[in-house]
Amino acid sequence: MARLCEGKIAIVTGAGRGIGREHALSLASQGAKVVVNDLGGNVDGSGGDLSPAEQVVQEIKGMGGEAVANGDSVSDWAGAERLINTAIETFGDLNIVVNNAGILRDRMLFSMSEAEWDAVINVHLKGTFAPSRFACVYWREQSKAGKPVSGRIINTTSVSGIYGNPGQTNYGAAKAGIASFTNIAALEMARYGVTVNAVAPVALTRMTEGLGPAPESDEDREKRSPRWIAPIVTWLASDEAAEVTGRIFEASGDVLAVSEGWVRGPKHAPVDDPTVLGPIVAELLAKARKNSGMDGTPGGWPQPRSK
């Protein structure tokens, strides 16, 4: 049976460990040649070490696949361009970009520093934009030259971004931005044969092991394995997913789901007098679905606490 990504050229950012490593191995197992990008930094983004990326490359080669390591920072403009060029110059083309790199600098809003905000926004949001931008330039040029294009961008958002999680205004804002970026980029790139989707993973990794309770059993740990995220990413990277674009999928060992975006809820005729809005807004809110909690269920959003 033919493999899903046979002959495709893929880039996976943040692929030295955790979820990104699973993406790279899965794509390679389905026939893709992979650029394994990882700065090799700590969870907060500090430091750098190419050896995690090189280890994944060796794993792929041990499977009989082809791969090359890249240590550029995805949030660096020139580095993002070099990353895209690495795929083209090494393997002769580019078909798939999986934007997975990320860091955490969690803090309550009133304690968060400018540096903690900027670092997270830079890596997640700019680090999604910059590689995607250079990939889209390449695909647009290919399309205008009359060459067939089947491009795939698969971004990494988060339930923290689309539903909300206290202590993560920086991370959540970046991930919500990535969700909107996905939708708009999908609209812009459809004419060039490029799909843009995103995945909101839930997994136990180096980044998330300090968040929430530890697994209570081997079964619970298995459900939180990052291996559950790679199948949907690999499928979205394939030709089978050519008609799927602008969508966000939640993926974990518990669920695979499509997240639905913002929709207009209950409405009222325009009002030009703020003094009469109280009962009108109360009626609208009474009819509207409450915000979802981290499990995606409407009404699960935590209520504000009084002092």
What is the set of active-site residues? 171
The Cβ-side half-sphere exposure at 128, using a 13 Å CA radius, reads 27
As a whole number of angstroms, the distance between CA 104 and CA 171 comes to 7
H-run or E-run covering 152: strand 151-156
Pairing assessment for the beta strands 151-156 and 194-201 based on DSSP bridges: parallel
Q: In sequence order, what are the beta bridge partners of 280?
A: none
Q: How many CB atoms lie within 10 A of CB 196?
A: 27
Cα-atom radius of gyration of the chain, to the nearest Å? 20
Tokens standing for residue 138? 């390449």
Backbone angles phi, psi at 170, to 5 degrees: -70, -50
Identify which of 200, 213, 196, 203 has the alpha carbon closest to the alpha carbon of residue 171: 200
Identify which of 254, 162, 168, 165 has the alpha carbon closest to the alpha carbon of residue 203: 254
Beta strands across the sheet bearing 9-12? 67-70, 33-37, 9-12, 96-99, 151-156, 194-201, 248-251, 256-259
- Asked if residue 280 lies in contact with residue 271, where contact means CB atoms within 8 angstroms, the answer is yes
